[in-house]
Structure 1
Amino acid sequence: MRYSLSHKQETRERLLQSSASSAKRSGFASIGVDGLMKAIGLSGGAFYGHFSSKDELFGAIVERELSQSLARLGGEGQPSLAQLERCLKLYLSMSHVEQAEDGCALPALGAEIARAEMAVRERAEDWMCRLQQRWAQALGSESLAWSILSQCVGALVVARMMSTPALQRQVLKSSHDEISRQIGQSSPQ
């Protein structure tokens, strides 16, 4: 039985969404094709009607997730410090620590992206550079934008490593306070 193009696109989107959530929660390498397909109610053989390999799926996940991160964190219109502060507050939050599957792909998949094939790394680089450029416009500093982006991702990784919620909160608050201090020092008085 042949499925319509729209059905195939819907299935592909469900597979991307489900696989991205699973990867951010448990790591991409730890999940097999059969498990990815079972999560959306299909057999493993159906996978190859959507992607030629698991690596191709990972590349699509990275592209999708980082484009969504840019939309959430980069905002629209002219970037501003107020917009950046709002993003930081959401990014460096306990809900982001506790719900990895719904959050940014960088803290959850960064190490796997670093080990991925060059094409995946290049796509991730493109999206990260776009976000950095948006933040650099708001901050008036290329290097401060890279620094803050790195601090945010690192703070989330460290907070997720901690087992104690109080310590997780301390990591997030300390990071937010330091980033806010840096932003305050860089903004015109």
Structure 2
Amino acid sequence: MRYSASHKQETREKLLHSSAAMAKKEGFASVGVDGLMKAIGLSGGAFYSHFSSKDELFSSIVERELSHSLERLNGNGIQSRERLDRCLKFYLSMAHVEQMDAGCALPSLGAEIARSDVAVRQQAQDWICRLQVGWAATLGSDSLAWAVLSQCVGALVVARMMVDPLVQAQVLSSNHEVLSQQMAGL
């Protein structure tokens, strides 16, 4: 039985969505092709009609996830300090800590991106630099924009490492407080 082109695209999107969520929650390297396909109700053999390799899937996940992050955190490129502060409040929230599979890919997949081939790393760099440029325009400082980006990702990683929700919340609120002070000082 032949499937329509739209069915193939829908299946590819389901695979990307499901694989991204699994990768952010469990790590991409730890999940096999069969597990990725089983999550959407298909056999492992069907994978290769959508991607030529697991590396190609990872590259597509990075592209998709970072483009979504850019949309959420940078909007249409026009920022205000108030919008940036709302983004930081969301990013440094317990909901973001607890919903790893639905959140930013950088805290979960950053180490795997760093170990990837140059093409994937370049792709990630391009998206992150676009976000940094938008935030730098809002903040009026290239270096503060890099510091805010790095501190947010690091704070989320540290908060997720903690077991006690009170400690997690303290990590997040402390980082938000410091970042707010830094941004207010400009």
Per the normalisation by structure 2, the TM-score is 0.99
User: Which segments of structure 1 move beyond 2 Å, counting only runs of 4 or more?
Assistant: none
In structure 2, what is the equivalent of residue 6 of structure 1? 6
Contact 1:14 1:40 in 2 (8 A): yes
**Alpha-carbon deviation of 1:77?**
5.1
What does 1:136-147 correspond to in 2, within 5 Å?
A: 136-147=136-147
Tell me, in whole angstroms, the C-alpha distance in 2 between the residues paired with 1:2 and 1:127. Answer: 37
Tell me, in whole angstroms, the C-alpha distance in 2 between the residues paired with 1:175 and 1:77. Answer: 24
Partner of 1:78, secondary structure, is coil
Tell me, in whole angstroms, the C-alpha distance in 1 between the residues paired with 2:47 and 2:6. Answer: 16
Q: Which sections of structure 1, spanning at least 5 residues, go unmatched?
A: none
**Counterpart amino acid of 2:92?**
L
Contact 1:75 1:83 in 2 (8 A): no
What does 1:45-124 correspond to in 2, within 5 Å?
A: 45-76=45-76, 78-124=78-124
Contact 1:97 1:160 in 2 (8 A): yes
**Alpha-carbon deviation of 1:76?**
2.0
Tell me, in whole angstroms, the C-alpha distance in 1 between the residues paired with 2:28 and 2:57. Answer: 10
What does 1:169-184 correspond to in 2, within 5 Å?
A: 169-184=169-184
Tell me, in whole angstroms, the C-alpha distance in 2 between the residues paired with 1:56 and 1:80. Answer: 36
Partner of 2:29, secondary structure, is coil
Q: Which sections of structure 2, spanning at least 5 residues, go unmatched?
A: none
Give a deviation string over 1:45-88, Cα, whole Å, max 9, x none. 00000000000000000000000000000012521111100000
Root-mean-square deviation over aligned CA pairs: 0.6
**Alpha-carbon deviation of 1:179?**
0.3
- Percent identity, please: 70
Per the normalisation by structure 1, the TM-score is 0.97
